[in-house]
Structure 1
């Protein structure tokens, strides 16, 4: 969605993130965003007022359980799940995907197939690769060399009657292009398989709607979506019930989602999800929204998308105007189908040297392969310390983009001399 009733209220937005300081510009948000105050307030409240184990009969334990329930309900709202029990908490997307692969093992037989995308972060490749030892065949869905996109025409030849799962990213953390996961899910289901989406690079930027897309599993990191270091996995309830349990033997198949949260989730971090969603709902209200919490969150993401599109075009226009650099992936965003995660390289200039020189300007960017090593290898971009990446979110400003490009001009002139 791109329509918004008014420009993003940046004064309000930036006031809600205590970590934002005038002396630093954070353009490494795809590695981890700043944490919104509302999330920190939930953590503090839990630790000071509710910090006991759930499951007790006494009032404080009941209050702790209520906090965990509120966290699940907030996650349900954020992704538009059918019920809060479809929300699984874990330490990171990497761990949640490893848990999912382990819990799915009992459903797989030797000769069954799983398709993974070459454009994915290793978190959505490695756990499935490890199933080879049980006789599962892993196939790779390649990136289309001409379009730098994933194409169903390239996926179709890989699908067989033994294909059980297709794993794909919603947005590549290198290329920044939004993949049409609803269209992909429909194709995969038509061929009798299920789909698992790594949404880490999508969730901070756009509204999530797992039911509209009909995805089976959808995983992202809250610490890249304005919360603390924790992660969330959505799974259709009936599918979660089918999975093997990862907790004690007496956690039966029907104990969803607890059987997938060994040792229990981190209560205070799960509760912080309520703060993240409250912030988004308040932002939506400031943008003129009324109605349900979900409706206000939807309006907030409409405003976020419009603002981020301006940031994206500001940087891409500067990069396109130069004759000494190239954007990795698409250099335009005419259709609004790109998030503000932009990778690029300067000709003959070491990416690491540029990123390290940027430190003196108080601007945080990063270089390398960002754990999407297979993609960077396929693109032939491993030399010169990989690619530079600028990853913006809605609390960044056009003025900060201009500060970045001025610094890049000075650094590249100096380093290349």
Structure 2
């Protein structure tokens, strides 16, 4: 991890100075001072809507273009023209479904998975129902992971879309997206990858993944609540015709961006990527992804191992290295509800979540949907070992 100094990185986050263990990052990270200042500066300087001739409008245009470049740089996309901006990944996927639905009909097939967040399931199943298309669902494996074969075996000549997560936001299980995307491409189907959880813990390269479209949200990697749908090739977007108001742009990614963009938040996205670029000596946000991923993987192994040594704790998801799972830990404690466990963690100064994290299919497959879900702990790039150890100490004390 040459050049990665977690103490220096952590010091840039004002919220982290409260002495608590912030192990809730899978639901959204905190932001560094650089992002706070960028958002405030955009507001102080004055912004208007896009397309005007006066300075405030030109500033808005510049903010939007900088955000496109930032998302492209963070994901390895070749061209900012392939970056669609939006408030959340859920909203962007609904817009994409509305664009694709008219191209489907009876006999067509849509592939979704049990591993995915509902944001990458519900838009497709609802659009398929309206279009008369058939939905095929890839099931989780016995270990809670999603083998690529579970998805590729469902892809056939009538497949029109394959929607798959790059990593489960509930258990952290990674998916071989490249294999799935290759099978979709061979069948002539569009592939859409939910990378919201994946991007926080991975070196992202949309071209290497091979998917047509990759969804990410900056609030999972130190930015504001702004999302993007990133195309490996901008030409993919040009084949789609999203519903839009009369007079809206008819070309480029702006066709998908309905209404006024959140300019101040978009300024924060550019600052977040600049923050990542400054994390290491390479001045490259994607180089920082590699070093930060090594840091979080070590913390994830420490946490996973500690939980594995507790007879009263049951871990969920595949057991393995960082190639198999992200560093989060999903688990249950014998004799305690997930809500009781997070309350005990909170009392000891540990931020944690309980529930099913909108991974409805995965929670059902794992048998935890109806009785409180799972407890989820998630180290991030600014996390330290003492936070993991504090959580482990609390969980150890909950033994019956």
What range is the shorter-chain TM-score in?
over 0.9
Aligned-partner Cα distance in 2 for 1:42–1:332: 39
**Partner of residue 195, structure 2:** 199
Residue aligning to 1:79: 75
CA distance in 1 between counterparts of 2:152 and 2:286 reads: 33
Q: Is the 2:116–2:164 contact (alpha carbons within 8 Å) kept by the matching residues of 1?
A: yes
* Equivalent position to 1:359, from 346, 357, 372: 346
More deviation in 258-267 or 153-162? 153-162
CA distance in 2, matches of 1:178, 1:374: 16
Mapped to 2, the partners of 1:392 and 1:73 lie a distance apart of 28
Shift of 1:312: 0.8
Tell me which residue corresponds to 1:378. Answer: 365
Name the CA shift for 1:331/1:348 in 2 (closer, same or farther; >3 Å). Answer: farther
Question: Does structure 2 conserve the Cα–Cα contact (< 8 Å) formed by 1:29 and 1:391?
Answer: yes
- Residues in 2 aligned to 1:397 and 1:34: alpha-carbon distance in whole angstroms: 15
Q: 1:95 maps to which residue?
A: 91
Gaps of 5+ in 2: none
- SS state at 2:204 partner: coil
The equivalent residue for 2:374 is 387
Structure 1's 79 and 328: CA in aligned 2 closer, same or farther, altered over 3 A? Answer: same
| Aligned equivalent of 1:320, options 302, 308, 326 | 308
Whole-angstrom distance in 2 between the partners of 1:361 and 1:175: 24
Report how far residue 118 of structure 1 moved: 0.8
Q: Which moved more, 1:306-315 or 1:241-250?
A: 241-250
- 1:262-341 mapped onto 2 (5 Å cutoff): 262-285=258-281, 289=282, 296-333=284-321, 336-341=323-328
Q: For 1:202 and 1:28, how far apart are their aligned partners in 2?
A: 15
How far the C-alpha of 1:245 sits from its partner, in A, is 2.8
SS of the equivalent of 1:394 reads coil
Residue matched to 2:257:
261
- The aligned runs of 1:126-141 (5 Å cut-off) are 126-131=122-127, 132-141=129-138
Counterpart of 1:26?
A: 22
CA displacement at 1:142 relative to structure 2:
0.9
Instruction: Report the counterpart of residue 110 of structure 1 in structure 2.
Output: 106
Give SS of 1:204's match.
Answer: helix
- 1:292-312 superposed Cα distances (whole Å, 9 cap, x missing partner): x5xx22221121011111101
Change (3 A) 1:94 1:169: same
Counterparts of 1:387 and 1:228, CA distance in 2: 26
Is the counterpart of residue 243 in structure 1 residue 220 in structure 2? no
- SS at 1:139 equivalent: strand
Q: How far does the alpha carbon of each residue in 1:325-350 deviate from its partner, in whole angstroms, 9 at most, with x for none?
A: 221012332x5432111101122321
Does the 8 Å CA contact 1:227/1:272 hold for their aligned counterparts? yes
> Out of 387, 394, 399, which is 1:400 matched to?
387
TM-fit CA distance, 1:47:
0.9
Which residue in 1 is equivalent to 2:185?
A: 189
Structure 1 Cα separation of the partners of residues 296 and 34 of structure 2: 22
Distance in 2 (alpha carbons) for counterparts of 1:67 and 1:220: 19
Q: CA deviation at 1:226?
A: 0.8
Q: 2-side partners of 1:50 and 1:203: how far apart?
A: 32
Q: Secondary structure at the match of 1:395?
A: coil
Per-residue Cα deviation, 1:165-217 (whole angstroms, up to 9, x for no partner): 10000100122122121222112212221210011111111121111222111
Offset of 1:27 from its aligned partner?
Answer: 1.0
Q: Please report how far the alpha carbon of residue 400 of structure 1 lies from its aligned counterpart in structure 2 after TM superposition.
A: 0.9
Instruction: Report the Cα distance in structure 2 between the residues aligned to 1:260 and 1:31, rounded to whole angstroms.
Output: 26
Please give the TM-score of this superposition, normalised by the length of structure 1: 0.91
What CA deviation, in whole Å up to 9, does each residue of 1:135-155 have, x standing for no partner?
A: 12111011122x432223323
CA displacement, residues 248-276 of structure 1 (integer Å, 9 cap, x when unaligned): 233364x2111100103211212211101
CA–CA separation in structure 1 for the residues paired with 2:271 and 2:365: 40
What whole-Å deviation, never above 9, does each CA across 1:103-131 have from its counterpart, x for those lacking one? 11222223211100111111100111111
Match for residue 209 of structure 2? 213
**Which has the larger displacement, 173-182 or 72-81?**
173-182
Cα pair 1:325 1:346 within 8 Å, conserved? yes
